[in-house]
A = this chain, B = another copy of it.
Amino acid sequence: MFYTIDILGTIAFTISGVLMAMNKKMDLFGILIIGFVTAVGGGTLRDMLIGNTPVGWMQDITYTYVIIASAVFAIVLRKQINYLRTSLFLFDTIGIGLYTVVGIEKGLNAELHPIICIALGTMTASFGGVIRDILCNEIPVIFRKEIYATPCILGGVIYFLLIQFPIQENLVFVIAGVTVIITRLLAVKFKIALPTVYTESQGL
């Protein structure tokens, strides 16, 4: 089941990359690469940071097939894709929930501090979008209009609270992932965002 969710997340992330690349008038190759990087970027950075190489997507060719198929799908149906907006947003949100918990578990396997594990989970869920924005020459949306990281961090905190208790690991996994998903859905529905702190200071 986790594998299915992972694939759904990969599809949603790929399509979000493809849509932005098309807005930037990239060619077919550029669109494919941006889709790919959006889907695997978070896990790739995580794996490079903890030394888990060759990085994940290189070891299971399924991801590559799913990403290529999703990109072709999004390019062909680019005019109809608006009708799928809600489904894609759900896939994306579910993917973020799963990626967060996967990242946390990779950190635990490497015997890292809980705070570092939560950072790895958040990174897995959100860095694909960051690198998508950098490649498209935008300030990453996650730094301006936060709808990604807070739910991931909250889910991570829940994860580490729960594993203090004698609860089955799979259940902890699910509860933490669902926390990410619900928090994000609520944040988007009620347009909750972190405040910005603007200053005229000119830096150091």
Contacts and interface: CB of A to CB of B under 8 A. Distances in A.
Most buried by B among A112, A119, A137, A197: A197
Interface string A22-66: 111111111101100000000010001111011100110100100
Contact of A26 (B16, B30, B49, B143): B143
A199 B143 contact: no
Contacts of A24: 139, 143
A189 interface: no
A157 to B, nearest CB: 14
A57 B140 CA distance: 23
Interface in A115-138: 115-116, 119, 130, 134-138
Contacts of A204: 12, 15-16, 19, 85, 88-89, 92
Copies of this chain held together in the complex? 3
B82 A142 contact: no
A110 interface: yes
Given A199-B19, A202-B23, A204-B15, A116 B61 contact: yes
A44 B50 CA distance: 11
B49 A142 contact: no
A191 interface: no
B64 A19 contact: no
Contacts of A48: 48-49, 53
A27 B195 contact: yes
A26 to B, nearest CB: 4
Interface SS, A side: helix
Contacts of A136: 139
A202 B110 CA distance: 39
A143 B61 CA distance: 23
Interface of A: 12, 15-16, 19-31, 33-34, 44, 48-51, 53-55, 58-59, 61, 64, 75, 78-79, 81-82, 85, 88-89, 92, 110, 112-113, 115-116, 119, 130, 134-140, 142-146, 149-150, 193-204
